[in-house]
Structure 1
């Protein structure tokens, strides 16, 4: 019987790696986790948590203007301190980082603050040259922002650096049109920047329902965010005054103070030594795994963004839990990837769960779509013409709700309950039979026609 240093060695202490480590240790395994940066990973340190706090801060720009219509005397213009918000956000990141660390320590997980690379099916090498062995290895190293290969790309930043800027840029060009690009476009716009979104294709938020993303595009343009489509990057030149000259295909060059790349994320597998253990990668560099999270090497597993299945924190956490329960808890578990809700914390936010209308028509053929297009009560009194849109996509034969998609205030909070309904297979008749909660925006879910 081979003797190993650990039962489980985890690479990466992000959301998935932390959950897997904690639960495996609770099941009695001897666990170590190596993290080269900070415990908490992308979500806690430089992703959804600090970004959502910036989103909250950005919403005050409109809320303070609207407050005057509700009887509040608000100075105009209001002053805003980016430095104060930034520093408060980073303090909260430190607090959560400490909480994650304490949780691992409480469960007697060895935290190794170094990079680790795989050297074989049961071994890893730390940055200081130390070798560690384990019966099983779990790779949970996440992903990193992709940067276009164009001249001058080194002058741009990514979402990683956006949380540490000295000041809000007066003019910023954001490359990309996914959720990160649209979220930061809304953030920087509300903080007073002129925002240009440049995308190499003709659509934003590919994968979301077409009507919902079109509504976001209309509202964003109405707010003053500028969009450039079919605009592949050709190069960035730093001028003598420090400004950046950006050359785009099919468009005139633009001069900005900051360029931010939000052009997707790539799994962190480069230089990880996975080939030494026969771990196969796909064309994107993601680790190939089965339903049990096992790679092509029987002793090496992978979860989270490094597998590029669904790059969402709650999914990584579910995968970490399933791995630990299956391998160490005697409770075989697989993750169900159907009906995973998603939201974009844009201004206004959008959210969806299940099939889009286009996906439903391709898959089911017979589809019925119900919708509600309305001005939220708050917007009416505030004199804001911004309209919300809710859509319900149903199987035309059975009435089963197969997708719900929405844009408007607070829809990420509403979609979670919708996800339960879609997952449970409820029908349009079930929604219709439910009494509305009035006055609320959510009541539109049971009033759609």
Structure 2
């Protein structure tokens, strides 16, 4: 019998922590997990899942307008925010229940309270209990960052946005990344006047330049207001309601809500890391090696708290790798962070995998770029001028496809299959030899010449 209470104690029951817990238990380990908020983590409770449901709801705004050109008479187009909000929360609660059931069915003991590391093999629960474990895995994720400015308590983040009592008529969204642009599209479709404030002159830094330029053009045409090289200096309650924003770089603004989406900060506070001397990076992330191990041999970390790639599927893959390596009978394997696909669920969405055109030119030198700039058939019929753009980046010497980037309806759904081709190092000739599936938008991937 082990001298520890558990073989593995996991702190944090988000996507990565749940995967590591259940797979380790399936391998025969005695596993416990502590979660101080709700099982499911950011993605399920207040992140990608409820956000995607809002994105679905927002798409109906344009679909209902387009329906007339397809013969449908939709006389009343009234949006009711509380109905969508409450249905989204009901779905979140359902998924939370499934996550709990998954842990239970795999015989993982769950503690719904905070856990602190008090030794290399010891944790203390908020209720006062002290437990021991052969290995400790930190999977506490990250949270939205808020700057220290006067009146910041009046602002909201992506944590609170799903619980708004009413839909604002005017909203400022601070940030230029994927979360900011996603919510800009959602609130605009719901009828709010959206102003996106960004301290730089670029949105979606790190994404392919052609895709982000196209999204900016479309967003401006739709009526989203952009304030570049600007920032909020202070927030205060306005005299006649709303919030008064004192701005730097542009005129002051009065709005109903201010949403900050300026990055996420790893959740490391109060975990007891200092007492163990666990190494923390410049961004507040837990430093780990390729096997997810910290500088303390019995303590590991996965997911957003390590700030490698803050994506749910990456955290899940890291949890799987940890469980299989530490408790499975399979050969150890490391997570491959190359060619991780990404998506921005903006309006329209962006999806990409591999190198951007700029990255490929810098790293490979001689490349070929193929593009398809077109209007989706549905947009043509609806009289909507919005154009899609697909780009394929190819290494000239080998003909290998090193990047695919897309903006247009259903781009993320299409890209998932294309990402396999990039990962498999297929060539442009392989795509050229593939028969097109007509009529689809995806066929443009094999028709570029």
Q: TM-score, normalised by structure 2?
A: 0.99
Q: Distance in 1 between matches of 2:370 and 2:389?
A: 11
Q: Distance in 1 between matches of 2:412 and 2:390?
A: 12
Q: Distance in 2 between matches of 1:422 and 1:219?
A: 28
Are 2:19 and 1:27 aligned? Answer: no
* 2:211 alignment partner in structure 1: 212
Q: Deviations over 1:157-177 (max 9, x none)?
A: 001100000111000000001
Are 2:364 and 1:364 aligned? Answer: yes
Secondary structure of 1:79's aligned partner = coil
Q: Distance in 1 between matches of 2:187 and 2:264?
A: 21
* 1:184 alignment partner in structure 2: 183
Are 2:95 and 1:102 aligned? Answer: no
Q: Deviations over 1:188-215 (max 9, x none)?
A: 1000000000011110011100010000
* 1:380 alignment partner in structure 2: 380
Residues 4-403 of structure 1 aligned to structure 2 (within 5 Å): 4-76=4-76, 78-331=77-330, 332-403=332-403
**Does structure 1 retain, via aligned residues, the 8 Å contact 2:236–2:244?**
yes
**Does structure 1 retain, via aligned residues, the 8 Å contact 2:15–2:40?**
yes
Q: Deviations over 1:221-265 (max 9, x none)?
A: 000000001012211111233311112221110000000000000
Q: Distance in 2 between matches of 1:203 and 1:338?
A: 25
Cα deviation for residue 150 of structure 1 reads: 1.2
Q: Distance in 2 between matches of 1:140 and 1:111?
A: 14
Secondary structure of 2:444's aligned partner = helix
Q: Distance in 2 between matches of 1:206 and 1:199?
A: 11
**Does structure 1 retain, via aligned residues, the 8 Å contact 2:374–2:387?**
yes
Q: Distance in 2 between matches of 1:376 and 1:54?
A: 23
Secondary structure of 1:227's aligned partner = strand
Cα deviation for residue 330 of structure 1 reads: 2.8
Cα deviation for residue 20 of structure 1 reads: 0.2
Secondary structure of 1:134's aligned partner = strand
Secondary structure of 1:237's aligned partner = strand
Moved over 4 A (4+): none
Cα deviation for residue 4 of structure 1 reads: 1.2
Q: Distance in 1 between matches of 2:287 and 2:392?
A: 34
* 1:447 alignment partner in structure 2: 447
Q: Distance in 1 between matches of 2:293 and 2:349?
A: 36
Q: Distance in 2 between matches of 1:228 and 1:31?
A: 50
Q: Distance in 1 between matches of 2:333 and 2:138?
A: 18
Q: Distance in 2 between matches of 1:106 and 1:219?
A: 47
Q: Deviations over 1:276-311 (max 9, x none)?
A: 222101011100001100011100000000000000
Secondary structure of 1:160's aligned partner = coil
Q: Distance in 1 between matches of 2:24 and 2:362?
A: 41
**Does structure 2 retain, via aligned residues, the 8 Å contact 1:148–1:233?**
no
Are 2:407 and 1:407 aligned? Answer: yes
- 128-137 vs 165-174, greater mean Cα deviation: 128-137
Secondary structure of 1:163's aligned partner = helix
**Does structure 1 retain, via aligned residues, the 8 Å contact 2:436–2:443?**
yes
Q: Distance in 2 between matches of 1:168 and 1:280?
A: 43
Q: Distance in 1 between matches of 2:22 and 2:229?
A: 46
**Does structure 2 retain, via aligned residues, the 8 Å contact 1:137–1:300?**
yes
Q: Deviations over 1:29-60 (max 9, x none)?
A: 11000000111000000000000000000000
Cα deviation for residue 2 of structure 1 reads: 7.0
Query: Structure 1 stretches of 5 or more lacking a match?
Result: none
Q: Aligned pairs, how many?
A: 448
- 112-121 vs 12-21, greater mean Cα deviation: 112-121
Q: Deviations over 1:403-444 (max 9, x none)?
A: 000000000000100100000000111101111111110000
Q: Distance in 2 between matches of 1:147 and 1:416?
A: 33
Cα deviation for residue 446 of structure 1 reads: 0.5
Q: Distance in 1 between matches of 2:242 and 2:88?
A: 27
Q: Distance in 2 between matches of 1:49 and 1:344?
A: 13
Q: TM-score, normalised by structure 1?
A: 0.99
Q: Distance in 2 between matches of 1:32 and 1:447?
A: 52
Q: Distance in 2 between matches of 1:148 and 1:387?
A: 37
